[in-house]
């Protein structure tokens, strides 16, 4: 008897924790979560890509030391879970739990964090693009994307990429706009 009560309590706590960490809109949609509405509006206006970075990439590709580099990690459960842990620790504060660029720290930045779900759906961007971006950050383009060269190993970055491809590639708003990005000139 007390066991059932205990299990029920645990389930309730898990549901509440998931709700708090994922946000109201994840469960009910923006229409119901009016307190989240401003945030939702900010998200849809967030940068899908940084024009300066994209223009550089279209002109030059990634720097030669990264060119053609491929993620050596398979999407095993272990790699995805480890990537998820690292993502939550190092990236979610800006890019948001679901990678759409709605992390709480992002509001204070002049160039908003990218919508990574859109970046991942962008056929122009290979693994080497993500390795380059995360290792070198955005200093060359005057953005606040931090360089993780001294904080994360390449293996850790690849696991984050593995997680992001598994978790974000299908999510949301990016999917429709990226097909256009792939053929339009850099702006
Ligand atoms: C301090 C906030 C911040 C943190 C933390 C952060 N980013 Fe970023 N990120 C940004 C901003 C701002 C941009 C857009 C400007 C740019 O591309 O340089 C960006 C851009 C990117 C891009 C380029 C997307 C594109 O389409 O060009 C990738 C990929 C990326 N971040 C991945 C990550 C990963 C992975 C992590 C964690 C290891 C991370 N970021 C942590 C702020 C952040």
Tell me how far the alpha carbon of residue 4 lies from the centroid of ligand 1, in angstroms.
Answer: 45
Residues with CB under 6 A from ligand 1: 47, 49-50, 53, 90-91, 93-95, 105, 109, 111, 113-114, 116, 119, 130, 133-134, 138, 141, 143-146, 148, 160
Phi, psi of 72 (to 5 degrees): -80, -5
- Per-residue pLDDT tens over the stretch 71-101: 999 999 999 999 999 999 999 999 999 999 9
Tell me how far the alpha carbon of residue 166 lies from the centroid of ligand 1, in angstroms.
Answer: 18
What's residue 44's pLDDT?
Answer: 39
What's residue 150's pLDDT?
Answer: 97
Of 109, 91, 89, 111, the residue nearest 99 (C-alpha): 91
CA distance 177 to 1: 53
Cβ atoms of residues 163 and 119 within 8 Å:
no
Residues 6+ away with beta carbon under 8 Å from 66: 128, 131, 132, 135
Please name the residue whose Cα sits nearest to atom 43 of ligand 1: 145
Residues 6+ away with beta carbon under 8 Å from 58: 124, 185, 186
Q: Which residues of the chain have pLDDT under 70?
A: 1-49, 170-187
What's residue 179's pLDDT?
Answer: 40
């Amino acid at each position: 008897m007390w066991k059932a009560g205990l299990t029920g309590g645990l389930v309730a706590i898990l549901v509440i924790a998931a709700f708090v960490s994922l946000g109201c809109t994840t469960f009910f949609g923006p229409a119901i979560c009016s307190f989240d509405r401003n945030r939702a509006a900010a998200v849809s206006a967030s940068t899908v890509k940084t024009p300066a970075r994209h223009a550089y990439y279209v002109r030059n590709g990634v720097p030669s030391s990264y060119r053609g580099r491929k993620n050596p990690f398979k999407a095993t459960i272990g790699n995805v879970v480890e990537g998820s842990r690292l993502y939550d620790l190092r990236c979610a504060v800006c890019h948001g739990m679901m990678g759409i660029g709605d992390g709480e720290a992002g509001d204070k930045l002049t160039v908003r964090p990218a919508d990574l779900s859109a970046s991942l759906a962008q056929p122009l961007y290979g693994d080497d693009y993500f390795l380059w971006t995360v290792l070198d950050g955005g200093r060359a383009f005057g953005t606040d994307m931090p360089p993780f060269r001294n904080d994360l190993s390449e293996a850790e970055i690849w696991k984050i990429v593995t997680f992001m491809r598994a978790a974000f590639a299908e999510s949301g708003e990016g999917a429709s706009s990226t097909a256009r990005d792939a053929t339009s000139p850099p702006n």
